[in-house]
Structure 1
Amino acid sequence: MGVTSSRNYSPSVVTVGNCNMPTRLKRRNEPLKKERPKWKSDYPMTEGQLRSKRDEFWDTAPAFDGRKEIWDALKAAAVAMETNDHQLAQAIVDGASITLPHGSLSECYDELGNRYQLPAYCLAPPLNMMSEHNDSEGVEPAQQVPARIEFPLKVRLSTGRDIRLNASMSDSIGQLKHQLAEQEQFSANHQRWFFSGKLLTDKTRLQDTKLQKDYVVQVIVNTVPPPPPSSK
C-alpha cells in the first residue's frame, strides 16, 4: 500500500525517557534495509517541489524535540540512501548510536530514548513524480533561451583544492560536472556535488539552489585506482 504524503507534516519526536525505553526497543536494532518506501503524493510533484518540501522539513526538524546532532545524522543518512550508498548510511546511523527497530529511518531512537520519525518524502521520491520540462512548442527560440550571464563558480574538492568554473545560473549540475571533468581530468560519474548539506542531482540548475555570489559548492570526488598492469 502506498503512503500518502501530508503537506502539513510535522517532525515527530516522542521522548520515551532517559534509560527508561521499553525493553523491546532497547534490545531490538535491525540493520538498515536497502528498500525505500513507495508512496504517492496528493498531487503530481516536480523535483523542485520535492526539494522544497524536504528543505522545509529539515529546516524545522531541529526546532522540535530531540537532539540536533541526531537530526543532522538522519539527514546525512537519508541523502546517502538516496544515492545508493547504503554502507555510508549504515555507518552514519551506527556512529550516532541510532536504533532502528524496523530497519528503517522512518522510525528510530537515539541512545536517550527519544523517538524520531522521518516522512516518506524525505526517504524517496513519489511514484507520481512529474517532469519539470515544459512543452515549448510554438515558442520562439529567442524566448526560450535567455542571455547567458557567466560568473566564476567556486567549488571545493574533497581533496582540499578550490577550483573556479565559468558558470551561469541556467547551467545544470550535470553540465558543470562535465566542465570540471574536462578541467581536472576525472570522470563526471565520480563526482557528488553538495550545497548547504544537500545533494545536487544532475538535473538541478544553479538557479534552483539559492546559491549566491562567493558561495562555495562542495564536490566529493571518488577516485578509481587504475587497473593492474597486464601480466602478458
Structure 2
Amino acid sequence: MGVPNSREYHYYHAPSAPFKIIVKTRNEPLKKECPKWKSEYPMTEGQLRSKRDEFWDTAPAFDGRKEIWDALRAAALAVECNDLELAQAIVDGACITLPHGSLTESYDELGNRYQLPAYTLAPPINLITETSSDCKVSDCTQKQAQASPCREDFQLRVRLSTGKDVRLTASMADSIAELKKQLEEREDIEVTRQRWFFSGKLLTDKTRLQDAKIQKDFVVQVIVNINPSVITN
C-alpha cells in the first residue's frame, strides 16, 4: 500500500528491457512562500518579462510534455498573483506532484521531472521599478533616437549680395527662419536685414527647404539690406 497523498512509480529489470529504478515521490500541497533570489545585474520589469517569455517559449523543447509545461506556466502566473487556490487547482487538474510544495521541482504522472528557475516564480530582490517619470524619459529618448536618423544634414551654400559665399549646416526639414538665425550667428547679419531668394522667388520664414525643393548642390541668394526697415517678409 502506498503512502497517503503520494505517488509511486514502480520499475523493474527484465532481460529484454532496460534497467529502471523505483521512484517514490510524496505530493505536498503548494506553499505560499516564493523563492527569494538576486539577479547578477539589476533588471527592469520589462527585462524580467522578456526573460520569462524566453524560458516558457523554449520549455517544451526540454524533457517532459508540453501540456504539463503549459499547466506549470499558468500555475506560476497564479502564484505571482497571490491566487494560491487557483494554482493548486491547476496543479491537481494536471496530475502534477510537488515533492517540496513548490513549483521549482515537480513530476507528472509518468514520472517526468520538471524544474522551474526562480525568476519564473518571483521577481529578484534587486528589481528596478519603472516609474512613470522613467517611462517618460525613456519614451523621449526613444523618440529622439528615432528622429535622429531622419535628419540628414548637409552644407547649404548661401551667396550673399556682398559677394561672399557662406556654407550653413542644414537639413531638408529646416525652415528659412531657422537658417536666418544661423546666418546671423555666423556672419553677424541681423535677421531683419536678410532676404532669401531661390529661383527668383522670395522665400518666407515659414518655408522649409523641402517645400522649395532646395538640395545641397543648389545655391540660395541672400540680399543683405543696409536699412532693415524696408524689409517685409
Which structure dedicates a bigger proportion of its chain to helix? 2
TM-score normalized by structure 1? 0.49
Instruction: Answer 1 or 2: higher relative contact order, Cα 8 Å, separation at least 6.
Output: 1
TM-score normalized by structure 2? 0.49
Greater Rg by CA: 2
